[in-house]
Amino acid sequence: MEHDLKDLENAKSFWYADWAFPIIVGLMSAGVFAGTSMYYNYGVGAFNEVAIVAMLKAGMTGGSYGAAAAFGASFLFARILEGSLVGILDLGGSILTGVGIGIPAILLSMDITAPVKNFPLALLTGLIIGVIIGGIIYTVRHFTIGQSKATFGADVMMGAGNDTGRFLGPLIILSAVTASIPIGLGATAGAAAFYAWKKPIAGGAIIGAMVLGFFFPVKL
Amino acid sequence: MHIAVILIESIIIGGLVGFAAGVGAARMFNAPTVQALGAFRTLGEMNAAQGDPASHFSFGLGFFFNAWASTVGAGAFTQDVTHRVIPNWAAAGLLMKNKNLAETMHNPKKMGIASAAIGIVVVSFLNVTSSSIPESLQVTAVKVLVPAATILINTVMPIIFWLAAIDAGRRSGLFGTVFGGLAALIMGNAVPGVVLGILIGKGVEEIGWTRITKIMLAAVILLFVLSGFFRGFDIQMLKEFGVNAPQWLKGLHTAIGG
């Protein structure tokens, strides 16, 4: 009885229904795309890892948007496929990287700056993109649901994704030592302190590098 | 003035992202019957801290400091804001009042509202505090982080994903290797190709060559063909093999503007 009631509620209410999914993805995408717009205008607010935002930064500072565009768009594609099959759309790969980095990079590489520069337009662009993505998943799901119980290697990808994060700490220190000696020492000390404090060492390396970089500035 | 604009925009963004993250995370506990938006690591971690508001809060706090450092340094929130900080703090807030998980953490409506409030506070705080930092800090961040990120994305990530694909079985290793190499050539980064290889390899291993896996393979091949075409890979490849591109192909490129 309780189950029947819950099923009825699930089918009808916005909070559990499949038809609500495109709306949820739309709202998320609107916020994330607008966050990238803020990053473009003010240098803060991108919803992603430093490493991935740096690819967009490379394009913004005169380089090529190619890496960000290809990386983001392909990730988006892979995650849409996976999301509709496993029932969980990976927020990081699809929205944060695909919509937040890949799509802005594609637009900017084609010199279409308005949707990224203008805040209300960014909200609208993100919303539309998100609703489309959610709609695609809704459709794919309705054609495939119940037909397969496979995980499509989601666990393998998640494991690899988490392993990647571990490499960032040492890489930041290696990169800091090439910036300048004080910054290199700062990053090393910061990472060691964070390690002793049982925190991810990437955070400590960044803070250490920043503090020394503030007192002993370097030129870009 | 500058700060006021950032604050207003942050409130809007934080509310939207927070709400969607909360609803999406709560729906994960009802997947796969309900299509959710989130991440497997979020699901696992929230289950690990289940029921204890203090665990949820301190777990979020650790990543909050990391996100803050990254925002001050490079303007990047890290994915942890949506994956870890917002859902765990929302869960902590709800669980303080009611220990019943089904009525709190697993309820999309309550999680959505609580996460919207937390999203507004977190995003505004991160943006306002870090937009007022001096220039020398930003320069340091770029000097340190950009090279590290480049190596991470172009070398480290492809290798980790590639090895994971190889270790996951013969099929995903084979598809991962083929698509990884092609993706590196065509898209400039091997990761998307390896990910697609794992997807197809494991799919075939688990359910065999069904209609779904065949459609997926066709879609992936189409993706490669299209991105190769639009990046001019076909012309470049023929040139490097010492073959002249046929006129119709060149004509097709000019017609579509590629």
| Domain ranges across chain A | 2-152, 166-215
pLDDT by 10-residue block (mean), chain B, 258 residues: 87 96 90 80 75 81 80 85 92 89 88 95 92 73 77 86 93 94 86 85 87 84 82 86 88 73
Q: Would you call B112 and A32 a contact, using CB atoms and an 8 Å cutoff?
A: no
As given in the structure block, the two tokens for residue B122 are 């977190």
Identify the CA nearest to B216 among candidates A147, A78, A155.
A78
Degrees (nearest 5) of the Cα angle A148, A151, A152? 95
User: What DSSP element (H or E) covers A174?
Assistant: helix A154-179
CA B73 to chain centre: 20
Boundary-marking domain end, from B131, B147, B164: B131
Asked whether residue B157 falls in the same domain as residue B179, the answer is yes
> What is the rounded (10 degree) CA torsion for B215, B218, B220, B222?
-130
Give B76 to chain A, closest Cα distance, Å. 5
Identify the pLDDT of residue A145: 53
Asked whether residue B179 falls in the same domain as residue B119, the answer is no
The whole-angstrom separation of Cα A183 and Cα B13 is 34
- DSSP for A181-210? HHHHHHHHHHHHHHHHTTS-HHHHHHHHHH
Give the β-pairing of B36-38 and A88-90. parallel
Asked whether residue B145 falls in the same domain as residue B217, the answer is yes
Identify the pLDDT of residue A9: 54
Model confidence pLDDT, tens digit, residues A56-89: 887 888 777 877 887 787 778 778 877 777 778 8
Boundaries of domain holding B196: 136-256
The residues of chain A scoring below 50 in pLDDT are 1-2, 4-5, 8
Residue A171 identity (one-letter amino acid): L
The whole-angstrom separation of Cα A95 and Cα A107 is 16
Chain A, 91 to 120: residues with Cβ < 8 Å from chain B are 91-92, 95-96, 119
Asked whether residue B222 falls in the same domain as residue B186, the answer is yes
Identify the pLDDT of residue A95: 93
Asked whether residue B125 falls in the same domain as residue B142, the answer is no
User: pLDDT exceeding 90 applies to what percent of chain A?
Assistant: 37
Chain A residues closer than 8 Å to B143 by CB: 175, 179, 183, 213, 218, 220
B210 burial level (CB within 10 Å; 0-12, 13-18, 19+): middle
Boundary-marking domain end, from B84, B116, B131: B131
Identify the CA nearest to B76 among candidates A100, A89, A99, A153.
A100
The whole-angstrom separation of Cα B211 and Cα A143 is 11
Asked whether residue B70 falls in the same domain as residue B104, the answer is yes
Identify the pLDDT of residue A80: 84
Identify the pLDDT of residue A176: 92
Identify the pLDDT of residue A11: 56
Asked whether residue B193 falls in the same domain as residue B247, the answer is yes
Boundary-marking domain end, from B84, B112, B131: B131
Q: Would you call B153 and A206 a contact, using CB atoms and an 8 Å cutoff?
A: no
Asked whether residue B32 falls in the same domain as residue B108, the answer is yes
Nearest to A200 among B66, B157, B183 (CB): B66
Identify the CA nearest to B107 among candidates B32, B25, B37, B40.
B25
Identify the pLDDT of residue A150: 63
Chain A residues closer than 8 Å to B42 by CB: 91
The whole-angstrom separation of Cα A43 and Cα A89 is 28
Asked whether the bond before A115 is cis by omega within 30 degrees of 0, the reply is no
Give A151 to chain B, closest Cα distance, Å. 7
Identify the CA nearest to B89 among candidates B141, B125, B35, B140.
B125
B83, B62 Cβ separation under 8 angstroms? no
Identify the pLDDT of residue B30: 80
Chain B CA closest to residue A163: B160
Q: Would you call A171 and B151 a contact, using CB atoms and an 8 Å cutoff?
A: yes
Chain B residues closer than 8 Å to A199 by CB: 62, 65-66
Asked whether residue B7 falls in the same domain as residue B121, the answer is yes
Identify the pLDDT of residue A151: 66
The whole-angstrom separation of Cα A117 and Cα A34 is 9
Q: Would you call B141 and A210 a contact, using CB atoms and an 8 Å cutoff?
A: yes
Identify the pLDDT of residue A74: 73
* Interacting residues of B145 by C-beta distance below 8 A, sequence separation 6+: A50, A51, A54, A172, A175, A206, B73, B74
Give A8 to chain B, closest Cα distance, Å. 13
Name the pTM for this structure. 0.73
Q: Would you call B32 and A87 a contact, using CB atoms and an 8 Å cutoff?
A: yes
Number of domains in chain B: 2
As given in the structure block, the two tokens for residue B244 are 């002249």
Identify the pLDDT of residue A2: 45
